[in-house]
Structures are given as structure tokens and as C-alpha cells.
Structure 1
Amino acid sequence: MSGHGHSLARDFRADVGSPFVETPVDREHGGNIYAWARTTGIDGNEIIDFSASINAIGPPASARQAFLKSYREISRYPDPHGTELKQALAKWHTVEPDEVLLGNGSTQLIYLICTTLRLEKALIVGPAFSEYANALRLAGTKICFFSLPAESDFKFSTERFMATWEKDHDIVFLTTPNSVTGQLIPRTELEKIAHIAFLRKTFVVIDEAFIPTLSFCAP
């Protein structure tokens, strides 16, 4: 790692702690296919790992083409402000560039949110990505869970959610599609929740990391 990279990691450790330091939380959530390959003697390329939330289909052809066009520039440091990327994302989402925050993956952003805000009480809609709780614990935030029932195929119920959502919850974590169950929360329901959160001055994190996978499920 270059000196600049070390500096970046050091600054992140100083500001938000994890994931660069040891923490008293469970950091294990799969992804070690190499250990399985060594243990079983199976070629790692033949293993599909369902314990890690990674798209087994791989990147789209457009991403591969973009890489092939630009890989010669890999020796250069990227724009530290991500100006062009911010502008492109802002245009796509119809927002201003200064409303876009770039990160090294969603996990870094989750930790930044939790450890920067350091709120008193959070509500997580589960089953959910384990790093929400890990980041909140690191920030000293009390965690409450709203568990979606298996009997209803883990479908989100706004009525049940509203009965659980208390006014003293400072932040709410929602995932759509859910990275565990694949279930979507309808946009109309998200808008209702966002409106109530605005009135209560509650932060809402809507994790849409797996929205691109929906194209594979289209009829």
C-alpha cells in the first residue's frame, strides 16, 4: 500500500474506528471460499458462496467494457473528490452533486453514518445485513429490531412497522431489496415512512445496494 493509502486508512481509523480496528462485535459474515476450497479440495471457481452478499453473476458487460477502456489509467490516483462520478450520479438520481457522498463500498458509508451521528436509539428492520448492528454498537447506539415474520415470507408490513416504530428511535435502517430475503418494500410505503420520519426529525437509511439485481428477476 502506498503512503497515501496508509494515510487514508489512518485518517479513517481516527475518525470512525472500524473496520480497520478490532471491535467487540461479530465481524464474521462469510466470504471465505478459499478456506473451503483448501478443506474440501474443490476448485474455488466451482463454489457459489451464499454466505456473502455478492452477485454470483458478476459485473455487467458494460462495466467490463469500461474497465478495458480505462485500465491503462490504473497507475494514476483517481480524483480525490470524485467530481465526474458525483456529477453523473447526481444527474441519474436528479439531485445536486453536493448531495452525493462517495465511499469505498456501502460498509464504509454505514460506519460513517453511525459513528458520525452517534445517536441514542436505532431501529433495524430484520433480517438484515449484520454491519448495521456492528456499526451502531461501535457508536454506542442502543439497537431495537423489527423482525419480519417467516410465516409471511418476510414481507414488509407498514402497519406492523408503525406499531413498533417509536418516536424516540433516532434512526431507522431499511433494506430494499432485502439482501437476505430478496423482498422489496414498495416505493409508496417508503415514501410514507420518509414523510413520518421528516415530521419526527428521524434519520432513515434506505439501503438499495441490490437494486441492480432486479433486472435479472424481470419477467
Structure 2
Amino acid sequence: MLERFGHGGDLLTAQELFGHGADHFIDFSANMNPFGPPTCVADLLGRYMDVIRHYPDPAVRALRSKLALHHGVSDSSILVGNGAAELIDLVFRLLHPTHTVLAQPCFVEYGDAAVKSGSSIRAIELQAEQEFRLTKQLVRDKLALLREEGVESGEAIWFFGSPNNPTGKLIDPSLVHDLLLEGERVVVDEAFMDFVPEEHTYSLAKAAADHERLLVIRSMTKFYAIPGIRLGYVIGSPEMIARLQYFQIPWSVNSLAQGIGEAVLEDQEYAASTLRFVAEERCWLSGQLLAIGLTVHESAANYLLVSIPPGRGWTAGLLQRALGSRGILIRDASRFEGLDNCYCRIAVRLREDNAALLQALTSLLGSDCAAEGKA
């Protein structure tokens, strides 16, 4: 199982499973910017020896200032963390909800963090027939059910991804505002929002800075292809940010991460090129996957949720193993709650890589059975 630790992008496990060196793999299992890091990252690494001997800024002031300017909020509305994973954990430690409402399938760490905090999971089950969209009716039904069971406003938190992982679906911001009007607490993970050209329409970052019951989590590792540097931030009211900061360990964000975060925000050309390319390549890749007989769900992010039609003799696990032996890694999405064993998630990469994936899929799925994947 490639997702031994619950995530994609685990090249060490891939090497153990498939016997290839790390450089041999084309990795579609991790949703990173296909361009790789901006050139400014390499430049900064060359100068880092002059910085490493000093402690990092414990308040991350320079990066917070740039992020505040980027989003049009105050510095006091931002807390930078050691990746979105740390921030998810901090949110649960602070809010300590009795119940957590999740729209499933969703990122596994929401549920993991909820359970660790002693919170019960109350799932909204998204349906393939509705393209896994979170609708206002689904939210109203869940809210009514909670009220019937005696769960009062503020006892639960509603934790959503927008775009959602693994479905790639955006959430209607008015849906979140409706929940806030009902007195609910809402957390929105916008880790992949940077890939959305209509970000200003869908992002709730500015709204979070002005509301005491809304938090927005962002990641810098996906869009800037720097997952080895854990870097993310949360936006909320100054009061909520101060309370979150109380639970954060000192020097959570090292100086290299801070410096890289400051540098990449300046590269506007890189950001614009990424937005154009991912939108066009996602559309092309989706069409090609459909043409070879796979079911592809529409996505607003840099990845696609794909399912294998019944009767083809393949599961996502079998397909993952068959592709892995050829040096191509995909995510077995059946590991997400609410998806069965026909689902996989595929990142959008550069055309050469995408063409290699399509060639391998055509060869494998054109077979009469999945014998190669069972080997």
C-alpha cells in the first residue's frame, strides 16, 4: 500500500514497494505545482548559510506582513505555522468541539484531528451522482438533524475543504455565511485555493479576518511546490489568532521556511503562469482520461478524481501497483471515507508526464483482465 502513512508523495515507500530509485518515478500521487519551486528558492538556499546560525523570528513578522498585504487583512489576523497539518491540530486544540461535521470524502487529517481531540464525527455524505457537491440542502438537513438531537449552535465545528480534497470541488461562500448566521463555527481549508483563477470569488480569507467564528487555513507548499518546507497559515479575527498562537510551540516556523515564503510571494509571473497552465492542462488531461474510458469528476484544483467503470477488472489498488511497477505513482482514493475501490486521484503534471501516464493507462486498461496488477 503506497499510502502507508495516509498520504501520497511517499517516495521511500514507493521505492520499497516497486524497487525503483526515487528519481525513476513520475509522481501523480502528490498534488504539487508541476513547474516545481520558483527559481528564487534555489537562490535563497545558496545564501542560507549566512542565516542558519541565527534563531528564526518567533513572530514570523516579515512573512505575516507580506501575507496580510496579499490578502488585504491586518497582520494580527494571520498565524503562520509548520504546514497546514500543524494548524489543523491547533484549531482542534483550541476549539475542542463536541462534534465535527465533515463533508465526506475529504482530507483524512480533518477526521484524525477531530478524533484525537475527543470530537465525534458527523458526516455529510457527498454523492457521486451529484458530482460530490456540497449543497445548501445537504447542510440544512444536517443542521436540522443536529438540532433534533439536541446539539446547540456553537457545540460543533463544520470543517470543509475548498477546493475539497480529493474531489476538487469549491464551496459556495454563501453556504458558509448561512452557517455563521445560525451561530455555527466554521473552518475552511483553502490549501488549493491558489490554483483557482476565480479565487477572489470563492475565498473566505478576508471574511475570516472579520468574524470570530470563521477560520481559513491556507498552504504554501502545494502552489509553490515546496512540500519539504512545511509552511502554511491561518486567517481569523485578531482575537482568535491570539488564542491559537497561545497553543503553538515556540519557533514552529524555521528561518528557511520564513525566507522562502517571503521570496515566493514576490514571483507574480510564476503565479500567473501556473494558473494558466493548470487550467488548460487539467482540461486536456480530463478529456484524454475520458477518451480511454475512465470516469472523471470536474475539478477546480490541480488534481482529478477518477473512477474505473465496473466490469474492467481493475481496482484502484491494482492499478496503482501496475503503474507503480512502471515508475508511475497515483493515489488510491479508496482510502478516503465515502469512496469505494474504483476511485483514484491523479495530479495534473507537465504534458510529457501526463502523456506517459495516458500511454501506460491505455496499455493496462486495454487488457482483458487485471492480471498485471495482481502480480
TM-score bracket, normalised by the shorter chain, equals 0.7 to 0.9
What is aligned with 1:129? 107
1:200 matched to 2:182 = yes
Task: Determine if contact 1:48/1:56 at 8 Å carries over to the other structure.
Answer: no
In structure 1, the residue corresponding to 2:94 is in which secondary structure? helix
Q: 1:67 to 1:171 in 2, by over 3 A?
A: same
What is aligned with 2:278? 217
CA deviation map 1:153-176 (0-9, x unaligned)? 223322222222345362111111
In structure 2, the residue corresponding to 1:45 is in which secondary structure? helix
What is the 5 A alignment of 1:124-163? 124-163=102-141
Q: Which has the larger radius of gyration?
A: 2
What is aligned with 2:169? 183
Q: 1:146 to 1:66 in 2, by over 3 A?
A: farther
How large is the Cα RMSD of the aligned pairs? Answer: 2.5
1:34 matched to 2:12 = yes
Task: Determine if contact 1:30/1:52 at 8 Å carries over to the other structure.
Answer: yes
In structure 2, the residue corresponding to 1:101 is in which secondary structure? strand
CA deviation map 1:176-215 (0-9, x unaligned)? 1112122222xxx21x233223223321111111122342
Q: 1:128 to 1:202 in 2, by over 3 A?
A: same
Q: 1:153 to 1:64 in 2, by over 3 A?
A: farther
Give the superposition deviation at 1:91.
1.4
In structure 2, the residue corresponding to 1:102 is in which secondary structure? strand
Task: Determine if contact 1:115/1:136 at 8 Å carries over to the other structure.
Answer: no
Partners of 2:120 and 2:180 in 1: CA distance: 21
Q: Which has the higher contact order (CA 8 A, sep 6+)?
A: 2
Partners of 2:193 and 2:177 in 1: CA distance: 22
Task: Determine if contact 1:122/1:144 at 8 Å carries over to the other structure.
Answer: yes
1:93 matched to 2:93 = no
After alignment, is 136-145 or 35-44 more displaced?
Answer: 35-44
Q: 1:161 to 1:201 in 2, by over 3 A?
A: closer
After alignment, is 56-65 or 41-50 more displaced?
Answer: 56-65
What is aligned with 1:119? 97
Write the letter of the residue equivalent to 2:103: V
Flag structure 1 segments of 5+ consecutive residues without an equivalent: 1-25
Greater percentage in strand: 2
